[in-house]
């Protein structure tokens, strides 16, 4: 018997807690490249890619075949019990590809939050210090330390405290909201004066482009200043590249745009095209600080994720996806700026490669966020066959994360739906 979205939604409400937010009550049946079909046969253009995961498109046969082949051999032995070559090979490749010349090592985990937890553990083990500084508006996951680091209360932190201590937040530089890199650095110095002395800080962690917080890129000069502050005080600089990684921004990693080498880098999401694997890539001597047995996990570096991850790296190279991300960014920019010219509710259009966003406001005023329009747009576009994602600390940003393998025709079709939806609302 064919089920409907409404029937499954009823069952979902009864069987799954409300705390798991679901943006679209549209149950997936199949997904191919940049399109999803739901269980009622309705087709959607996907500008969400499962939250920045399927950069290489849904169900790329090169990844599917590699995983099927692995399944014919084994699906799990646990790397800590009987290791396998694909883990080593993926680590070797990422060590070579990560920004900077310092020799690297990589550990694999399962989720983004787990990668963040491990990066903090490694930074603390290496420095012997407790403190961590993160940024307001930043997002680092839903585990206890992930929440402590996250600089956005609703919905991530409500009711879940107390969180691990010795975590402090500085403002993230966002020109559009009147916070300059200098303001942000001054606030950081303020933390060193009022909250924790720099020689007790293990790490400064940030997203090179804030994701959930609203798609704001850190200015290069700011990243360089952070690098210097960390060098001056022996603090580990951690780049959380979980949303920005794997060609999304037009480089394999977003920090490459900013000309700095982080000490540690967290990766997940797009690294394996939908198979759950994450990692911490870091300078080898820092990565070796933790005692044997202190790092790992039963599923960490699942063999299925490792073989998929190797294919993702091949696809990014073979299909030239970094260059394609820049083309997609340019295509969106042109169309979105044209829409903005006719509509003062589009306050700002921004992108780094194919990490693209519009900020919706009232009367063109950056200080009047339009969260109502944002959620109405997400809903209306889905009805018309386009999957969009909102984000932003004020809930007024639409982020565009299309597959980097999507054709211009599909992208334009999606943008046509966006344009028509905005006109209707």
Least distance to ligand PMP, CB of residue 269, Å: 7
Question: With respect to ligand PMP, which residue has the nearer C-beta, 94 or 268?
Answer: 268
Residues 50-89 that bind ligand PMP (CB under 6 A): 51
Which residue is closest to ligand PMP by CB?
112
Residues 252-271 that bind ligand PMP (CB under 6 A): 268
Contacts 24+ apart (CB under 8 A), 139-142: 139/207, 139/210, 139/211, 139/212, 139/213, 140/112, 140/113, 140/116, 140/205, 140/240, 141/111, 141/112, 141/113, 141/114, 141/116, 141/117, 142/113
Q: Hey, what are 363's tokens?
A: 């009367």
Question: With respect to ligand PMP, which residue has the nearer C-beta, 243 or 370?
Answer: 243
Residue 355 within binding range of ligand PMP, rule CB under 6 A: no
Phi, psi of 240 (to 5 degrees): -85, 100
Q: Which helix (H) or strand (E) holds 133?
A: strand 131-135
Q: Hey, what are 279's tokens?
A: 């990692």
R_g of the chain, CA atoms, integer Å: 21
Least distance to ligand PMP, CB of residue 397, Å: 14
Using CA atoms, how far apart are residues 87 and 89, in angstroms rounded to an integer? 6
Question: With respect to ligand PMP, which residue has the nearer C-beta, 50 or 369?
Answer: 50
Residues 6+ apart with CB under 8 A from 148: 132, 163, 164, 167
Report whether 341 contacts 121 (CB < 8 A). Answer: no
Least distance to ligand PMP, CB of residue 56, Å: 17
Of 49, 70, 127, 243, which one interacts with ligand PMP (CB under 6 A)?
243
Of 60, 207, 256, 263, which one interacts with ligand PMP (CB under 6 A)?
207
Give the contact letters, 104-133, x = binds to ligand PMP (CB under 6 A), - = no.
-------xxx--x-----------------
User: Which residues of this chain interact with ligand PMP, rule CB under 6 A?
Assistant: 51, 111-113, 116, 139-141, 207, 211-212, 240, 242-243, 268
């Amino acid at each position: 018997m064919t089920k409907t979205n409404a029937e499954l939604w009823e069952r979902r409400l009864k069987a799954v807690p409300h705390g798991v937010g679901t943006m679209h009550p549209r149950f997936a049946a199949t997904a191919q490249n940049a399109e999803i079909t739901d269980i009622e046969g309705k087709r959607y253009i996907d500008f969400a890619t499962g939250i920045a995961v399927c950069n290489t498109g849904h169900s790329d046969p090169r990844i599917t075949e590699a995983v099927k082949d692995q399944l014919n051999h084994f699906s799990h032995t646990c790397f800590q019990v009987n290791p396998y070559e694909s883990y080593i090979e993926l680590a070797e490749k990422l060590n070579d590809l990560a920004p900077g010349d310092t020799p690297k090592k990589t550990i694999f985990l399962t989720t983004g939050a787990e990668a963040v937890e491990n990066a903090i553990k490694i930074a603390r083990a290496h420095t012997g210090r407790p403190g961590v500084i993160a940024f307001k508006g930043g997002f680092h996951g839903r585990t206890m330390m992930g929440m402590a680091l996250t600089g956005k209360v609703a919905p991530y932190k409500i009711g879940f405290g107390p969180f691990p201590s010795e975590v402090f937040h500085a403002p993230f530089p966002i020109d559009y909201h009147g916070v300059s890199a200098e303001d942000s650095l001054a606030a950081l110095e303020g933390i060193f004066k009022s909250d924790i002395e720099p020689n007790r800080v293990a790490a400064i962690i940030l997203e090179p482009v804030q994701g959930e917080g609203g798609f704001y890129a850190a200015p290069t000069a700011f990243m360089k200043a952070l690098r210097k502050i960390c060098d001056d005080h022996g603090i580990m600089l951690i780049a959380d590249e979980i949303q920005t990684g794997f060609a999304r921004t037009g480089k394999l990693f977003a920090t490459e745009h900013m000309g700095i080498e982080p000490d540690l880098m967290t990766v997940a999401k797009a690294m394996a095209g939908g198979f759950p694997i994450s990692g911490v890539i870091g300078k080898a001597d820092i990565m070796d600080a933790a005692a044997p047995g202190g790092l790992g996990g039963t599923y960490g570096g699942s063999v299925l994720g490792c073989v998929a991850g190797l294919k993702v790296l091949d696809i990014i190279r073979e299909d030239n996806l970094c260059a394609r991300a820049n083309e997609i960014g340019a295509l969106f920019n042109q169309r979105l700026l044209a829409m903005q010219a006719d509509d003062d509710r589009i306050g700002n259009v921004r992108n780094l490669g194919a990490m693209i966003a519009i900020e919706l406001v009232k009367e063109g005023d950056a200080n009047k966020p339009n969260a109502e329009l944002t959620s109405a747009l997400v809903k209306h576009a889905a009805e018309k066959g386009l999957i969009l994602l909102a984000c932003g600390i004020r809930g007024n940003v639409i982020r565009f994360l299309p597959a980097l393998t999507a054709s211009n025709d599909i992208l334009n079709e999606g943008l046509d739906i966006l344009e028509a939806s905005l006109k209707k609302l």
